[in-house]
Structures are given as C-alpha cells and as structure tokens.
Structure 1
Amino acid sequence: MAEAPQAELQKLVYDTLRLNADIAALVGGVYDRVPAEPYKTKTAYISFGPSDTVEDGADCIASGLNTFQVDIWSAAAGQVEAKRLVHLVTKALHLQELALTDNALAEIRVEFSRVFTDSDGLTTHGLVSVTASIEEPE
C-alpha cells in the first residue's frame, strides 16, 4: 500500500528543510510537534502549520493539490532573521526537483510568504504557503 500523499509530502519537506545547511545553521529544529524548548541554542525554529488537499484527478489519474504552511518563529530582535529564513525556505522548496517514493510530485511551488510580529509582541512569525501537485499510483 502506498504512503498517503500528504504524509509523504510532509516527510519530504521536513527532510529537505532539516538537511539544508543554511537553514540548519539558523534554527533549533524543524518540528511537526513543537517541543517545550524548540529554540535550543538558536533564536529561531520552523514548524508545520495547517494543510489541506483539493482533489484534482482526471480520467484514471488520482491526484491532488496539497497546500501547507511552513511557520518560522524568531525570537531575535527585529524581523531580519525571520525574513532570511523565509527566503531560505522558499529557495529550498520553490520549483525544486524533489522526489517522493510512493507518489509522484508533479510540481511544488511557494505561492506566497509573509512576515509579521506575533500576538505576543516579541516573536517574529514568518509563514511560507506551499502548494504541491501530487499524483498517486494506480
């Protein structure tokens, strides 16, 4: 049985971001479930936000448009660190030739990004909205 497209995509994105040397140098980790001390010795970390799927299949091809949010959290003064990380995440994902094992990643693209001060008034929050077109095996 093939892996669920959304789960396989999340693992691919997790591995891509975690193994990117420029990103790893700036963040305490990349998390699905954020631990009690996510920053570790750094001032930023990355987590997964909401996701959704819209069916996009046609004649004998099961596929979907999978949209998910990557969240960047920075405790550094100002917005520069968060903006740097948003840029690095975008470069790591947008239109890259990434591959899934069980499903076929037709395209991955960053639709938009945003940086703003979080509701606590101290943390800078960056978000990167990504859409991936995935075809499932027959």
Structure 2
Amino acid sequence: MASPDLELQGAIIARLKADATIAALIGSRVYDQPPDGATFPYFTIGEAQFLRDDATCVTGGQIYLTMHAWSRAVGFPEVKRIADAAVESLHLAPMTLPTNHLISIMHRQTRTFRDPDGLTSHAVIEFVANTEKPAA
C-alpha cells in the first residue's frame, strides 16, 4: 500500500492537469520539480507532512500540503488567478486514491508575495487532507 501523501500528490497533479481553467492559465505546466528553464507561469507541488491519527479499527491521518504558483507577469493578478483556480479545483474535491481513501481536502490559506529576485510573483497555497486506509 502506497503512502497516502504520495497517492494524493498523483491525484492532485492529474486533477489540475485536467482542469480547463488551470489549462487556460498555465497549460499543462504542473510539476513536482520544474525542469530547468521552465516557462512561466507554472504550478508546483511543494512540501507535504503526514500526521498519523489512528482510531479504533481505523488507520488514517492528516496530510498538510503546500503548493506553489509562479508568475513573471507584472504585479500579482496572474499568480492570484492561478492560485484561485487551484483552490477552486481542489477544495472539497472528490478524488479517488489507488489504495487509500480521501475523506476530504480543504484549503487553509494562500499567501502571495514577490520573490527576492524582484521579478517573480509567488503564491503559496496550503491544504489539509484527511485520509484513511480501508479495512483489511
């Protein structure tokens, strides 16, 4: 059985790449690790933390996810549109995982700022997901 956060990452990438609004904004540029010289704007899957929270007869936990939107357009509008589209696509989305069960995924917060290079607008989008493993 694969880790819930790895399975969720795959489901998120597939969902974002299939989303028409996201595709209109960034094409299929959704990456785990962007390639060298990646074309802006794009979206990356960031850090994840799995906190196990078992209960009687249930194995599960919370996954805290961080994702990033990147833009070189002037100002914040483009990066905010990308972040908003990702939130709309993922918040409370019904996604199927290969061996685990996604109970819920909820948007927690989005922060936007200018990166130190002075050119790149950056949004950090945070989610929490609840998962459980099906009974054996």
Whether 2:38 is the aligned partner of 1:48: answer: no
Q: CA offset at residue 108 of structure 1? A: 0.5
Q: Is the partner of 1:85 in helix, strand or coil?
A: helix
Letter in 1 for 2:20: A
Gaps of 5+ in 2: none
Partner of 1:26: 25
Structure 1 residue 85, shift from structure 2 partner: 0.7
Partner AA of 1:79 in structure 2 = F
- 2:115 alignment partner AA: D
After TM superposition, the score normalised by the length of structure 1 is: 0.92
Pair 1:4-2:32 in alignment: no
- Residue correspondence of structure 1 range 109-120 to structure 2 within 5 A: 109-120=106-117
How many pairs are equivalent? 134
- 1:74-117 per-residue CA deviation (whole Å, 9 max, x = no partner) reads 01111000010111000001112222221110010011111111
d(CA) in 2 for partners of 1:119, 1:56: 38
Q: Which runs of structure 2 are paired with 1:1-138 in the superposition (5 Å)?
A: 2-27=1-26, 29-39=29-39, 43-138=40-135
Q: Which 4+ residue blocks in structure 1 deviate beyond 6 angstroms?
A: none
Once residues 26 and 113 of structure 1 are traced to their aligned partners in structure 2, the CA distance between those partners, rounded to angstroms, is 18
- Give the TM-score normalised by structure 2: 0.93
Task: Using the TM superposition, give the Cα deviation of residue 60 of structure 1 relative to its aligned residue in structure 2, in angstroms.
Answer: 1.8
2:4 maps to a residue whose letter is: P
Distance 1:123 1:49 in 2: 17
Please report the RMSD computed on the Cα atoms of aligned residues, expressed in angstroms.
Answer: 1.1
CA distance in 2, matches of 1:120, 1:113: 21
Runs of 5+ consecutive residues of structure 1 not aligned to the other structure: none
SS in 1 for 2:34: coil
